[in-house]
Structure 1
């Protein structure tokens, strides 16, 4: 990695918690210069404008979340344990793996009517997450862990939507009650589909 690439990556990493906590629109260039201790002109050497930086930050932050969840899933051996690992990875909303909480929710709600490029990134991440859940279930069915009648795609939508809703409710309430309830419901349903 060249010095310019390292500097660009440093800017993205420093801006990530700002954007995810304050929002894209509310994060100013001054916030970014303060976090990076770089002059405004230096930022523009690496990014043409705030939109380009925003896209890079959202992409980085989403990948960081996906990698965190995938690492948790990767430690589990069985399909059932992998689904449980997914739930465990996101269940503590007060100490989220990404500062500021779930970037899918944060960036998705901000960009849905304002930024098509970021909205597409969020959509891709959601689609990959649902596909990942479906794939785990299908492997579990193939391996004889889960009932063959379980609709993998339908449950993947349900699991993703319920966990994101539980995260939102818990973050707003300032406690993990809602996400804990959602996790229990989903774990119970996974158990019911286990052979």
Structure 2
């Protein structure tokens, strides 16, 4: 990495918790200046606009979540272990990978009517997450871990939607009890479909 690339990455990493907490619309360049301890001119030397920076930050946040999940999944052997890990990863609402909570939920909620470019990025991340779950479930069926008649495509959608909904409910209530219930329901269904 060149010095300019390192500085650009530093700006993105330091700005990520700010954007993820305050949202794109709620984040001012003065917030970014405070987080990075850089002058406005230095920031604009690396990003032409707040919009360009926000796109880079959203990509960084979504990639960071994906990498965090995948690195943990790679350490698990069975499909059941992988699914349980995925559930546990999202159930840690009080310990998010990026300060501010789940970026898919945060940026998706904000951008659905206001920012088509960010909406598209979040939508791609949601589809990738669901495809990942479907892949784990399909491997589990192929390896005779799960019942052959389990509707895995439906379960992948349900699992992802319940986890994201649980994150929202837990963060709004400042209480993780609902997420614990959701985690148990999902794990119980997985166990019920094991061979």
Tell me, yes or no, whether TM beats 0.5. Answer: yes
Deviation at residue 92 of structure 1 after TM alignment: 1.5
Provide the residue aligned with 1:151 in structure 2. 151
Residue deviations 1:141-185, cap 9 Å, x none? 000000111122111100000000011000111111111110000
Task: Give distance in 1, aligned partners of 2:132 and 2:87.
Answer: 13
Deviations 1:43-91 (A, max 9, x none): 1111110100000000000110111111121111000000000011111
In structure 2, runs of 5+ residues without a counterpart are none
Given the alignment of the two structures, is residue 187 of structure 1 paired with residue 153 of structure 2, yes or no? no
Cα distance in structure 1, aligned partners of 2:47 and 2:59: 14
CA RMSD, 1 decimal: 0.7
Which residue matches 1:127? 127
Number of aligned residues: 195
> What 5-or-longer segments of structure 1 have no aligned partner?
none
TM-score calculated relative to the size of structure 1: 0.98
Question: What SS does the aligned partner of 1:46 have?
Answer: coil
1:117 Cα deviation after fit: 0.6
Q: Which runs of 4+ in 1 moved over 3 A?
A: none
Report the Cα distance in structure 1 between the residues aligned to 2:90 and 2:71, rounded to whole angstroms: 12
Whole-Å separation in 1 of the counterparts to 2:97 and 2:47: 27
Normalised TM-score (structure 2):
0.98
Residue 127 of structure 1: CA displacement? 0.1
Query: In 2, Cα distance between the equivalents of 1:177 and 1:35?
Result: 33
Whole-Å separation in 2 of the counterparts to 1:73 and 1:131: 14
